[in-house]
Structure 1
Amino acid sequence: AAESIDLHKTNILNYFINRSTNASAELFNAKLKNFWALVRGVRDKKFHLFRIAKFYG
């Protein structure tokens, strides 16, 4: 546990000092993963990128 805390101490302290987290990035990644699960099997990549831009943009 001590090694893990020492390894991540910058991020841990950053949370307590600035109250900043990477929650927004994690939320976007979860939404993107869910989107790709919904369109699994479709082969048109341009269409996928268009839908991502319209759906999450």
Structure 2
Amino acid sequence: MSTELTWFKSSYSGGDGDACLEVASGPDAVHVRDSKVQDGPVLALAPESWTALTGWLAR
């Protein structure tokens, strides 16, 4: 990734850090990764797809 991203973990995450996702917003995509594997794969979603996913999860 050429640009440095600022990653955020949900305030709903427990203090132990298990099973958490981190999210970073980039210029063209929302990036998602496993908080325990920060050098691992990153899922990049179009902003519209992220909105659809979070809306679906909220329902």
TM-score normalised by L of structure 1: 0.30
Ranked by relative contact order (alpha carbons within 8 Å, sequence separation 6 or more), the top structure is 2
Structure with higher helix content: 1
TM-score normalised by L of structure 2: 0.29
**Based on CA coordinates, which of the two structures has the bigger radius of gyration?**
1
Structure with higher strand content: 2
